[in-house]
């Protein structure tokens, strides 16, 4: 990496090189290569690493450096409020997210946010058990041929299964997040010459637009399925207006409250969107407490589903912006006569960025896979179901085009 011919290159080893081993090798070589009397580096990559290797740069130094000006405001500074908002919903249980200081970041199993996250996970698992039981009993030839049968039989188990897995993955990421952010900050400090991308406006627009569109879609879905007297919703395929299912083993005979009160909405929401919970084999009665818990868990699962997509978008945008800044600096150097040491600094900066991308990918690749698979399922299920429904409702046509 550093151009010493007498040194053994890491790729010459007989055993596979881990990313952390390559990082240690890179830092060792970099610290030994600093000349005793060299001019100040143009952007200080080598000097920054020499300080980091000799433990002269700590988290306190990172925090003080980041507070000196907007040039060193990095990924954590721009993402902290979005992540704090997510932690309020129990999705990202890390303490100290609203602080600029990296030393304030901490994960604890005994914190209130973590306990709340575990309570949500327990609620998701409870609903998932009932929905899986419903799926196993109803995923048959009749459901495959009936209108909307596939979505009716599988939507509950897929939706809450996605919530359970996503919650587990984000709790696992929350445990590793403080160290990951510190490593990211180290890269930002080492590459200060290229500048730090200004991500505040971009992150704000992305977060606002995505959540606004997502919850408008969620509200439209709930309105179509819970409005008094509605007959063109998906629940009409399984539940009649009196609440009696059209197939054996359906919900208990309820008289659905069609009033415009909040209690009436809770009852319609629970019985029409979570019909799989009110089977003869499961829950035999409905009350307002159960209805409120179902609504809150459904809202939290919806937030978790959309936050998963947003989190991937924000992390990807931050990495892309950092690489774009480096590319801009490299393009500006085209045609200039540099020494070997100066070109070497660019190679070291690129190696550092590559290590950061690999490390971030190792932390969030499972979340990306979950997001892609769940989105593919719901897009396909939405198309299969709504194409039959739009023939009788302009609202359904608008909803399908919008969603």
What are the pLDDT digits (tens) for 113-169? 999 999 999 999 999 999 998 888 887 766 666 666 677 788 889 999 999 999 999
With both helix axes pointing from N to C terminus, report the angle between 340-389 and 149-190 in degrees, rounded to the nearest 10: 160
What are the pLDDT digits (tens) for 301-317? 999 999 999 999 999 99
Please report whether residue 161 resides in a domain.
Answer: yes
What Å distances lie between residue 349 and 26, 44, 225, CA to CA? 11, 10, 54
What are the pLDDT digits (tens) for 83-129? 999 999 899 999 999 888 888 899 999 999 999 999 999 999 999 99
User: Average pLDDT of 392-403?
Assistant: 72
User: Average pLDDT of 229-241?
Assistant: 45
Please report whether residue 134 resides in a domain.
Answer: yes
Please report whether residue 144 resides in a domain.
Answer: yes
- Which pLDDT belongs to residue 226? 76
Structural contact between residues 60 and 51, judged by C-beta atoms closer than 8 angstroms: no
What are the pLDDT digits (tens) for 183-208? 999 888 888 878 778 888 999 999 99
Q: In this model, does residue 233 exceed pLDDT 50?
A: no
Residue with tokens 């994960």: 107
Please report whether residue 251 resides in a domain.
Answer: no
Higher-scoring residue by pLDDT: 279, 367: 367
What band does 209 get if pLDDT is binned at 50, 70 and 90?
very high
Please report whether residue 48 resides in a domain.
Answer: no
DSSP 71-105: GG--HHHHHHHHHHHHHHTTSS--BTTT-S-GGG-
Structural contact between residues 299 and 274, judged by C-beta atoms closer than 8 angstroms: no
- Which pLDDT belongs to residue 243? 43
Tokens of 207: 């977060």
Tokens of 285: 């009665």
Domain range for 202: 118-179+196-229+285-402
Separation between Cα atoms, residue 394 and residue 403, nearest integer Å: 14
Separation between Cα atoms, residue 246 and residue 309, nearest integer Å: 37
What band does 264 get if pLDDT is binned at 50, 70 and 90?
confident
Average pLDDT, the chain: 76
- Which pLDDT belongs to residue 335? 79
- Which pLDDT belongs to residue 117? 96
Tokens of 388: 């039959």
Higher-scoring residue by pLDDT: 367, 136: 367
- Which pLDDT belongs to residue 142? 67
What band does 297 get if pLDDT is binned at 50, 70 and 90?
very high
- Which pLDDT belongs to residue 113? 94
Q: In this model, does residue 47 exceed pLDDT 60?
A: no
- Which pLDDT belongs to residue 338? 77
- Which pLDDT belongs to residue 219? 85
What band does 28 get if pLDDT is binned at 50, 70 and 90?
low
What Å distances lie between residue 183 and 67, 76, 133, CA to CA? 18, 11, 44
User: Average pLDDT of 59-74?
Assistant: 52
DSSP 327-371: HHHHHHTTT----HHHHHHHHHHHHHHHHHHHHHHHHHHHHHHHH
Query: Burial level of 236, CB count in 10 A (0-12/13-18/19+)?
Result: middle
DSSP 307-326: HHHHHHHHHHHHHHHHHHHH
Structural contact between residues 276 and 131, judged by C-beta atoms closer than 8 angstroms: yes
What band does 342 get if pLDDT is binned at 50, 70 and 90?
confident
What band does 7 get if pLDDT is binned at 50, 70 and 90?
very low
Please report whether residue 15 resides in a domain.
Answer: no
- Which pLDDT belongs to residue 284? 57
Separation between Cα atoms, residue 354 and residue 358, nearest integer Å: 6
Least confident of 59-73, 110-124, 360-374: 59-73
139 φ/ψ sector (left φ>0, alpha ψ -120 to 50, else beta): beta
Structural contact between residues 167 and 304, judged by C-beta atoms closer than 8 angstroms: yes
User: How many separate domains does the chain show?
Assistant: 1
Please report whether residue 50 resides in a domain.
Answer: no
Q: In this model, does residue 230 exceed pLDDT 60?
A: no
What band does 23 get if pLDDT is binned at 50, 70 and 90?
low
Separation between Cα atoms, residue 403 and residue 401, nearest integer Å: 6
Please report whether residue 186 resides in a domain.
Answer: no
């Amino acid at each position: 990496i550093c151009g010493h011919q007498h040194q053994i290159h890491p790729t010459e080893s007989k055993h596979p090189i881990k990313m952390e081993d390559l990082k240690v090798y890179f830092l060792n070589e970099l610290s030994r290569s600093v000349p005793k009397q060299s001019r100040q580096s143009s952007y200080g990559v080598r000097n920054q690493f020499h300080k980091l290797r000799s433990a002269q740069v700590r988290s306190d130094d990172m925090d003080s450096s980041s507070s000196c000006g907007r040039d060193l405001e990095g990924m954590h500074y721009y993402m902290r409020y979005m992540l704090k908002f997510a932690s309020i919903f129990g999705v990202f249980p890390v303490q100290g997210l609203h602080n600029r200081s990296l030393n304030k970041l901490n994960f604890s199993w005994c914190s209130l946010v973590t306990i709340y996250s575990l309570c949500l996970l327990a609620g998701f698992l409870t609903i998932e058990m009932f929905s899986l039981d419903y799926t196993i009993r109803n995923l048959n030839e009749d459901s495959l041929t009936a209108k909307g049968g596939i979505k009716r039989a599988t939507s509950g188990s897929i939706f809450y299964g996605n919530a359970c897995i996503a919650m587990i993955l984000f709790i696992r990421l929350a445990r590793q997040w403080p160290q990951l952010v510190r490593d990211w900050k180290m890269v930002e400090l080492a590459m200060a010459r290229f500048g730090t991308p200004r991500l505040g406006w971009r992150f704000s627009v992305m977060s606002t637009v995505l959540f606004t569109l997502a919850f408008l879609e969620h509200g439209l879905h709930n309105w179509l399925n819970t409005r008094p007297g509605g007959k063109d919703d998906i629940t009409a395929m399984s539940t009649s207006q009196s609440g009696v299912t059209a197939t054996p083993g359906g919900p208990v005979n309820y008289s659905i409250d069609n009033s415009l009160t909040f209690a009436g909405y809770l009852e319609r929401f629970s019985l029409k969107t979570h019909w799989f919970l009110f089977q003869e084999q499961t829950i035999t009665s409905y009350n307002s407490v159960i209805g409120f818990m179902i609504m809150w868990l459904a809202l939290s699962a919806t937030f978790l589903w959309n936050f998963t997509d947003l989190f991937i978008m924000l992390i990807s945008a931050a990495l892309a912006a950092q690489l774009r800044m480096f590319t801009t600096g490299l393009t500006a150097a085209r045609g200039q006569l540099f020494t070997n040491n100066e070109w070497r600094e660019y190679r070291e900066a690129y190696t550092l960025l590559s290590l950061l991308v690999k490390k971030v990918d190792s932390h969030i690749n499972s979340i990306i896979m979950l997001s892609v698979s769940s989105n593919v399922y719901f897009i396909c299920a939405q198309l299969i179901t709504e194409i039959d429904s739009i023939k009788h409702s302009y609202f359904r046509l608008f909803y399908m085009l919008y969603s």
